[in-house]
Amino acid sequence: MRFHGLHFIFATAVLAASSSDEKVSVIEFDNFGYSGSYNLVSELNDVDSDKCSCKLDTQVTKFLGANSPMAEEVSVHFRGPLTLSKFGFYVADSKGDWNKQAFYDGSNSTNVTFVTSAGKNSSCLGKALTYADSDGVSKADKATLLDKNTLINSQDEYAIFSSVKCGDSGVGKDCGVYRSGIPAYHGFYGTTKMFLFEFTMPKESKVKKSEVSNYDMPAIWLLNAHIPRTAQYSLDANCSCWRSGCGEFDIFEVKNTTQSTVNKLFSTIHDYQGTDDIETGIQANGFIPRDTESTMVGGVVFNSDGKAQVFLSNSTSFDDTVSNDDVTSWVLKAGTSATKQLSSVSFSPATLTLSSKAKKGSATNFGVPFLNAIFALCLWFV
């Protein structure tokens, strides 16, 4: 094998990403964030007809710095089997302390909107977002709080946005272009931010394996909030900014149903920081064990220096203000950690991939051997 500068870096990243069999309590990405760009959706045409189509803006949206692109507004997504008993969103103030900006605990909430895909189906956008009813998955006519300890089954999903409404849909508007008729809300902003969860991921007991494709694969993840407002699960890559790299961060995710991995929670970034393969993304080293019997509590902290830490720790509290020392000690005391250093090399193969078919916003993986081949060739000639 011949090694060539960039090629070597890429090969190393891929090898490191596959050594995932270490059981840990903290999964850390270092050097998260880079200088890159993506394409926002600029047009959603005839969405309810067979002739529907989408267009991406040819003018790219640039991002730069720690935790980017997840430094942009994000929405928080949940897939069953799962119950959520507490949710907290925090941003750091100038002293580095964490202030709660959004919260849910089963009976009380601030600044959260529960949505689910229970709306009209479109051949290019999939099902539209609606307000979620108290069961998390039915359509409600207005914002409704999830019932305490609501269990959603395999494949079922809901998401949380803030309660700050978007202005009108349109290029250059506060929320960009979004699908008409949906409850459109801002995601959770900030470079230095933290999400906390108290949740369970019990073994699936309600639906059969033959009935769903994501059987017993619970997950909690973040998407650039632009993605679900246009199309989370689309077969047309032009209907969302996902393919061009606006960002996904999988916090706790069962990735497949093989015996050996069904009780392992992995963490994966989907963008172009050191890889051209956005489908596979960058999986951190190590996994956090999924406790199927009892409540788990923890979350993800995005620090100002591009260190992102996913952890489970029973010391986690949902107080209105949490000192940075406390957060540091939850993470430190959680136990063993596995750290993945992200590459400083970035790729923006958006122009290569605009016309390729994509289904995303999810955690499902699709191979892109053809693009990889082109990419490998490009590297060879660098």
List interacting residues with ligand NAG (CB under 6 A): 20, 53, 101-103, 108, 110-111, 121, 123, 127, 162, 164, 186, 188-189, 236, 238, 255-256, 258, 261, 266, 283, 294-295, 314, 320, 354-355
Q: Which residue's CB is nearer to ligand NAG, number 94 or number 108?
A: 108
**Which residue in 178, 294, 163 sits closest to 240, CA to CA?**
178
CB of 104 to ligand NAG, least distance (A): 9
**Which residue in 129, 130, 125 sits closest to 52, CA to CA?**
125
Q: Which residue's CB is nearer to ligand NAG, number 103 or number 311?
A: 103
CB of 136 to ligand NAG, least distance (A): 17
**Facing residues of 126 across strands?**
122
Q: Which residue's CB is nearer to ligand NAG, number 162 or number 343?
A: 162
Q: Which residue's CB is nearer to ligand NAG, number 310 or number 379?
A: 310
CB of 91 to ligand NAG, least distance (A): 7
What does the DSSP assignment read for 78-131? EEBSEEEEEEEEEEE-TTS-EEEEEEE-SS-EES-EEEES-S-EETTTEEPPEE
Q: Are 124 and 237 in contact (CB under 8 A)?
A: no
Q: Which residue's CB is nearer to ligand NAG, number 2 or number 95?
A: 95
CB of 278 to ligand NAG, least distance (A): 15
Q: Are 253 and 221 in contact (CB under 8 A)?
A: yes
Q: What are 1's two structure tokens?
A: 């094998």
Element (H, E) at 16: helix 5-18
CB of 212 to ligand NAG, least distance (A): 12
Q: Which residue's CB is nearer to ligand NAG, number 162 or number 240?
A: 162
**Which residue in 196, 198, 176 sits closest to 296, CA to CA?**
198
Q: Which residue's CB is nearer to ligand NAG, number 117 or number 169?
A: 117
For the chain, the residue count is 382
CB of 382 to ligand NAG, least distance (A): 26
CB of 341 to ligand NAG, least distance (A): 19
Q: Which residue's CB is nearer to ligand NAG, number 131 or number 188?
A: 188
CB of 320 to ligand NAG, least distance (A): 6
Q: Are 20 and 286 in contact (CB under 8 A)?
A: yes
**Which residue in 365, 87, 85, 75 sits closest to 214, CA to CA?**
365
Q: Output the CA–CA distances (angstroms, integers) from residue 143 to 107, 114, 163, 189, 211, in the order listed.
A: 14, 7, 9, 21, 30
Phi, psi (5° rounding) for residue 65? 105, 180
